Amino acid sequence: MPPTAADLAGRTFIVTGANSGIGRVTAATLAERGAQVFLACRSVGKGEAVAAPLRAGGAKAEVLHLDLADLASVRGAAATFLARDLPLHGLINNAGLAGTRALTRDGFELTFGVNHLGHFLLTRLLEARLRASAPARVVNVASGAHRSAKGIDFTVLREPARSPGALREYGVSKLANVLFTRELARRWAGSGVTAYALHPGVVATGIWRRLPGPLRWLITRFMISPEEGAGTTIFCATAPELAGVSGRYYDRQGESTPSAVAQDDALAARLWDESEKLVGLPP
Ligand SMILES: NC(=O)c1ccc[n+]([C@@H]2O[C@H](COP(=O)([O-])OP(=O)(O)OC[C@H]3O[C@@H](n4cnc5c(N)ncnc54)[C@H](OP(=O)(O)O)[C@@H]3O)[C@@H](O)[C@H]2O)c1
């Protein structure tokens, strides 16, 4: 049955990286379907440029400042949201970057720090609210690029990326998204909070901004649109048939099998433990 206009009325979502690309379409779609949506963005101005027209159209959309490259900002965003005393039915960990060799404010490799660690901390800080709002979902926007990673070298996470275009580090960060989803499902089993990882497709968005202009222009012609790219995220966040299903990986709005290493339960458990130490959470 196609969703009705206001089928998400009374539901509250946070979408990270909602000012651009897949996150922008995800946030707008959820808001247009009646949900209250927090657009968690590092630039409040860019977030407002998306949220203000949604509000003008009668939707409930507001910006939450969040810089995933700064764990103090992640803590601040979680505290700001929790202070609102609202339920949280969906946390969409969508923000991501590729192709940059740098460190986060806390000294972590930027790709891993933003794509995984910031989201790990945000999710854990919102855990109690998600549990209290169950049924609730955590959706981690991963990538088919997780298949390029053969494992996680925990000894290099405080060094800038070394590989050409930081592609290897991107693959590792996306592997971490899939493993985190798997471990969330295991640790939060029975809580009513379910977790999903997904590949959105190859989508013409800002993620390709570091490619040379003519090449970017050429290859993005062959990619799917952000509207199509948001389809699997929205499916994971809202599909009634996924109620109670947790820890799986999706592609093209259907379940898919992630790489063998992304199904390694020992690695998933280790990633959780190491991430706790890195972000300073008690075990
Ligand atoms: N496009 C694809 O083909 C593709 C394929 C597989 C997976 N994905 C995944 O899809 C997700 C969305 O990416 P996209 O393709 O929509 O790219 P995008 O248009 O570049 O959007 C990425 C979003 O992440 C935000 N972001 C980056 N660094 C951040 C930080 N430190 N704190 C908070 N937000 C930050 C960006 O904010 P700014 O605008 O301020 O930079 C932007 O809103 C990513 O996780 C990406 O890995 C994309």
114 Cβ contact list (under 8 Å, min separation 6): 68, 69, 95, 96, 97, 104, 173
Distance between CA 155 and CA 189 in Å, rounded? 30
95 alpha carbon to ligand 1 midpoint, in Å? 4
179, containing H or E segment: helix 167-187
pTM (two decimals) = 0.97
137, containing H or E segment: strand 136-141
- For the question of residue 170 being annotated catalytic, the response is yes
Q: In sequence order, what DSSP letters do the residues of 141-158 get, joined into one string?
A: E--GGGGG-----TTSTT
Residues constituting the chain: 283
Reading the chain (283 residues) residue by residue, the pLDDT tens digits are: 445 678 999 999 999 999 999 999 999 999 999 999 999 999 999 999 999 999 999 999 999 999 999 999 999 999 999 999 999 999 999 999 999 999 999 999 999 999 999 999 999 999 999 999 999 999 999 999 999 999 999 999 999 999 988 999 999 999 999 999 999 999 999 999 999 999 999 999 988 888 778 888 888 889 999 999 999 999 999 999 999 999 999 999 999 999 999 999 999 999 999 999 999 999 8
Q: Tell me which residue has tokens 């993005």.
A: 220
Q: Exactly one of 170, 196, 249, 250 is catalytic; which is it?
A: 170
23 alpha carbon to ligand 1 midpoint, in Å? 7
CB 226 within 8 A of CB 22: yes
Structural domains of the chain, ranges and CATH numbers in brackets: 12-279 (3.40.50.720)
Q: Which residue lies with its CA nearest to atom 6 of ligand 1? A: 143
Determine if residue 244 is left, alpha or beta; phi over 0 gives left, psi from -120 to 50 gives alpha, anything else beta: left
